[in-house]
Chain A
Amino acid sequence: MVVEGLLYTKDHEWAKVEGDVVTMGITDYAQEQLGELVFVELPQVGKQLVARKEIAVVESSKAAGDVYSPVTGTVTEVNSELGTKPELINEDCYKSGWICKLQVTDKKSLDNLMNAKKYQEYLDTL
């Protein structure tokens, strides 16, 4: 399932852009692949990242997956509920399963993201 109005990466992260603030998480495709998540390692608030750098780690009993930042920016908020409820990512990956928010520091990094239509086309090739 792909949601309109969000932007996407080839590594299956989604980004919700509201001015300079981006909320991010992993897509339905990614959570399906991983299976039931049991552990999420969140970034520190204040961490500065370049787009495509590892921002979080999600673990299911079978696999650990690296989550990459969709944009260049600074982490301003993390979804600490994921500490006790990692399964929120499986159940509601685009809303309550959000991973963190970033303050964008390089607007150009947004240019590399795909819209919903392009992401769906990309998924169809997999």
Chain B
Amino acid sequence: MQGSTPSGQFVFEPPVAEPAPSVLYEEHLKLTNKSRMSPFAGYVMPLWYSTIAAEHQAVRRAAGLFDCTHMGVLEFSGGGAVGVLHAATTNDVRKLAVGRAQYGYILDAAGNILDDIIVYRRAEQLYMVVVNAANEPKIKAYLKELLAGRVVIEVEPHRTGFSPCEPCIFRDMRDTASGSDCRVDIALQGPASIDVLAKLSSDGSIAEKLSGLKPFAFFEEKLSGIDCLICRTGYTGSKVGFELFVHPDQAARLWNLILEAGKPLGVLPCGLGARDSLRIEAGLPLYGHELDGKFGISPFEAGYGWAVKLDKAFFVGKAPMAKIAQTYEMQVTRLEFSAAKGVRPIRPDDPVVDGCGVCVGWVLSSATAGEKQYALACISRNAATEGNTLGVYYLARSPSQVQQGRAERMDKGQQAQADLTGTVVGRFEKF
């Protein structure tokens, strides 16, 4: 079945289709082999162009360019838009000013995270919502059903809703039906980003405008004649970085202009591998791993309780969130380990072990960044103090390791000896 269950869960089966080329597919083929392309969220995307390590370092030292054109871009307009978004997301959309963006969650009435999103207020009654590529079909279906009044929005008392009183027009900004308004996302992240973008503008004050742009603020400007939304948002933990929203017909041109302007500054195109290692190093969550996923991680466990405004009169999922806020016991934590040669890489699902040799949780995501390995792990809150020493047990990686007696899984509370010890570091880091 598709749609709301009586318990408020929103069920959705995505259509099965062959992975499609993204808007920048041809550009990727100019820079890398087909063998390095991989299916991702319904698209064929490059894992890396040079090496993951080189691309990761480029973002930290210069800048990296990311094809984010597969991400969903949705639009809500009209007098009813703010009310719909305020009720459909966990954060306070009514407080969002024009030219500002806001991180939040779309939940179902049972409290499951359907996606983490960013809402951008472009004008009085014009909002753009960017969603994860993997969740786009589900979110579009959910929002359509919501606007048609067919979604369970509250379990106790049972309510379906809701058609807004004022008009609210919902559009997919990557659907050709949106014509010249269509927009796709390209991200440029890293300290050299401002210098690179400044090269593409005839506006002498652009560098100042970009430096002065606050995090989560944005403005609209032409870069080399291309209409862009320039947003100070990103997914790499970079202090300086921008997401650029342009018409899909202009995406390849902008992509190439940025790479050309950026080459002397050390700018590299970056694939999914570096995107993942950068966001893990920064502590940023990925839906399906640090959000929702096999542990059903809520915004509170993920460290984003601030984006769930329990003082709002209503939002879908408010009651379950209020409960979780009081009772949650696990927490997403960032752990740092050595990545010296000969040290085995940590993998998702590896148990995390405390100083007493007891399993306190599991690794959700892991990545190497330079000389260090970082793990985002879901562990007991009382083990999660910054500075704590914790270890990781390597689950069996192969049948012969199983034969040697290495465990294939582990429960919380089980005894185990850590193979590698590390430290709990700050939940997030900016670079």
| Chain A interface residues toward B at CB < 8 A | 29, 32-33, 35-36, 38-39, 41, 54, 57, 59-62, 64, 66, 83-86
Contacts and interface: CB of A to CB of B under 8 A. Distances in A.
The 7 closest A-B pairs by CB, nearest first: A61-B368, A84-B341, A64-B397, A39-B344, A57-B398, A83-B342, A59-B345
A50 to B, nearest CB: 13
A35 B339 CA distance: 16
Contacts of B33: 32
A66 B402 CA distance: 14
B52 A39 contact: no
Contact of A84 (B277, B342, B397, B400): B342
A66 B345 contact: no
B65 to A, nearest CB: 20
A62 B346 CA distance: 10
A56 to B, nearest CB: 9
A58 to B, nearest CB: 10
A36 B51 contact: yes
B399 A54 contact: yes
A29 B344 CA distance: 23
B52 A38 contact: no
B47 interface: yes
A61 B341 contact: no
A62 B367 CA distance: 8
Contacts of A35: 47-48, 51-52, 273
5 contacts: A32-B33, A41-B397, A54-B400, A64-B345, A84-B342
Nearest to A86: B341
B275 to A, nearest CB: 12
A59 B339 CA distance: 13
Contact of A62 (B52, B342, B343): B52
B117 to A, nearest CB: 27
A39 B398 contact: no
Contacts of B52: 35-36, 61-62
Interface string B385-407: 00000000000011111000000
